[in-house]
Amino acid sequence: MPATKVQQYILFALGKWFEEANERIKYKPLEVSLSKNLFIDVVKRAEFAKKQPRALYKNLEILEKKKLISYQNKELWLTKKGEKLYREINDKVMPYVKVFRKLKERDPTSYTKKVQTVFK
């Protein structure tokens, strides 16, 4: 059974967190890890989702049953299947994120020679 949109969102949040956190220590022979509780804390503090902690925990358990994540020694990891799905989601989402970032980093009108304005 494929992952639901909510489960894909949770998987994407976890995958992106790993990607960004590991990026900060890429020149060291280290890798970040976190427990389910810490990940739920991250989701709540960063306001990735408005779900209750119990619902987030349940989604993590479902992802584990679907073999998209692994939880061993109190550490969450994406499985190969989970990494593949994360990359697929990331490839779908990134073009939209790039548009958003480009328009935020520079004035949108700076990309054109002339901008027409009209009265409201």
Domains in the chain, CATH or no CATH each? 5-111 (1.10.10.10)
**Separation of alpha carbons 115 and 98, rounded Å:** 22
Look up tokens 């306001």; give the residue: 47
What is the C-alpha radius of gyration for the chain, rounded to an integer number of angstroms? Answer: 18
Structure tokens at 63: 């992802």
Backbone angles phi, psi at 34, to 5 degrees: -155, 160
Tens digits of residue pLDDT in 48-104: 888 899 999 999 999 999 999 999 999 999 999 999 999 999 999 999 999 988 888
Structure tokens at 91: 């490839």
Tens digits of residue pLDDT in 56-68: 999 999 999 999 9
**Separation of alpha carbons 97 and 101, rounded Å:** 6
Q: Flag whether the pTM goes above 0.85.
A: no
